[in-house]
């Protein structure tokens, strides 16, 4: 029998190191004013040299597990979604499992190209609880972009920051938690638009590094076209599946990449910006962590309340996208 799924606890972790736009401008031809006007970003967080992804994931996970009212020993599955994992092998999920001091539960990594990761990972986790295989699933999404992006490249480095979000999913009563969800991709259009090299196609070699072939590249014009069309489409799809309209939503949490992109999408939906929770001014684009960090912050600050309808929309590389519509749970809603 299919079970309902809700988010029982949220957590997030942002590194202590703050990099302002003025500091970033030392490495390229840009200004604080330009970045704020074009993107809405004032600063971002940067991981310290001795921090791996699992080091960011651990405190976010501990917070989410505590807020869910369970212990790490109760976990049936750990999913970590990122592009810049600790190692090629083993999975970051297994490394995180060790740091949490538990063993036995399943653990695996997911890579859906960064920015679409928040919703992709949540929908993947949803399936394991819906079908009865798991009762408690920890989902961690985020990245350390400062190790991937060329800080002198204005076309990419102004966008990104480091950070991780985490959620614990559990079974919940009917008509609460996940109401609808959607996943998709358009590789025909987007497979070559946002690219992070360093795989089997263009491997890490001294020659490729010297020729600056490794790292992130992006066609911003095509990204804008995609994002401004897919964001409102995600929200409309979610609400149509649920027999609702965007007007019914209390909150919309979109991918945190560009404030003007978000404003454009909210206008297309006919929704006021006060319904969009944003924090990209503080954290920039944390990729797979983007939506999850914003959701965790809004929930843990008490901004999102039980019985409110929340639409999540994540999208990015590969021109992949995902969305989740939630009727936010109270602690008494979990089974």
Nearest-angstrom CA–CA distance, 131 and 126? 9
Contact 90, 55 (CB under 8 A): no
Beta-carbon contacts of residue 26 (< 8 Å; ≥ 6 apart) = none
Give pLDDT, residue 202. Answer: 86
Point out the residues that are catalytic.
115, 255, 285
Alpha-carbon torsion, ordered 117, 122, 124, 129, to 10 deg: 170
Give pLDDT, residue 209. Answer: 79
Nearest-angstrom CA–CA distance, 114 and 93? 16
Q: Which domain holds residue 164?
A: 1-335
Give pLDDT, residue 218. Answer: 86
Number of domains in the chain: 1
87: domain CATH number is 3.40.47.10
Contact 246, 229 (CB under 8 A): no
Question: Which portions of the chain are predicted below pLDDT 50?
Answer: none
pTM to 2 decimals?
0.96
Give pLDDT, residue 45. Answer: 98
Give pLDDT, residue 255. Answer: 98
Give pLDDT, residue 298. Answer: 98
- 268, 250, 239: which is closest to 179 by C-alpha? 239
Residue 260, judged by CB atoms within 10 A of its CB (0-12, 13-18, 19+), counts as middle
Nearest-angstrom CA–CA distance, 176 and 104? 30
Furthest C-alpha separation in the chain: 58
């Amino acid at each position: 029998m299919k079970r309902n799924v809700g988010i029982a606890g949220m957590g997030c972790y942002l590194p202590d190191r703050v990099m302002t736009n003025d500091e970033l401008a030392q490495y390229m031809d840009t200004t604080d004013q330009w970045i704020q006007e074009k993107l809405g970003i004032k600063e971002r967080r940067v991981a310290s040299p001795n921090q791996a992804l699992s080091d960011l994931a651990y405190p976010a996970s501990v917070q989410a597990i505590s807020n869910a009212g369970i212990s790490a020993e109760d976990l049936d599955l750990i999913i970590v979604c990122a592009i810049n994992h600790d190692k090629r092998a083993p999975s970051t999920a297994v490394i995180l499992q060790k740091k949490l001091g538990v063993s036995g539960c399943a653990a695996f990594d997911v890579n859906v190209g960064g920015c679409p990761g928040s919703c992709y990972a949540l929908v993947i986790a949803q399936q394991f609880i819906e079908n009865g295989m798991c009762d408690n699933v920890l989902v961690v999404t985020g990245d350390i972009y400062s190790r991937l992006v060329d800080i002198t490249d204005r076309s990419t480095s102004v966008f990104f920051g480091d950070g991780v979000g985490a959620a614990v999913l559990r079974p919940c009563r009917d008509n609460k938690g996940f109401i609808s969800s959607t996943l998709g991709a358009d590789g025909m259009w987007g497979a070559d638009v946002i690219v992070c090299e360093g795989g089997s196609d263009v491997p890490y070699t001294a020659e490729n590094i010297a020729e600056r072939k490794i790292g992130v590249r992006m066609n911003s014009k095509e990204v804008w076209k995609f994002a401004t069309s897919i964001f409102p489409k995600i929200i409309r799809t979610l609400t149509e599946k649920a027999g609702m309209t965007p007007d019914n939503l209390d909150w919309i949490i979109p991918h945190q990449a560009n404030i003007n992109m978000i404003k454009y999408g909210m206008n297309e939906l006919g929704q006021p910006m006060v319904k969009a929770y944003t924090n990209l001014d503080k954290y920039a684009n944390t990729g797979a962590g983007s939506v999850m960090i914003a959701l965790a912050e809004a929930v843990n600050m008490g901004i999102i309340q039980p019985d409110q309808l929340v639409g999540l929309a994540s999208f990015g590389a590969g021109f992949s996208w995902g969305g989740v519509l939630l009727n936010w749970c109270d602690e008494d809603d979990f089974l």
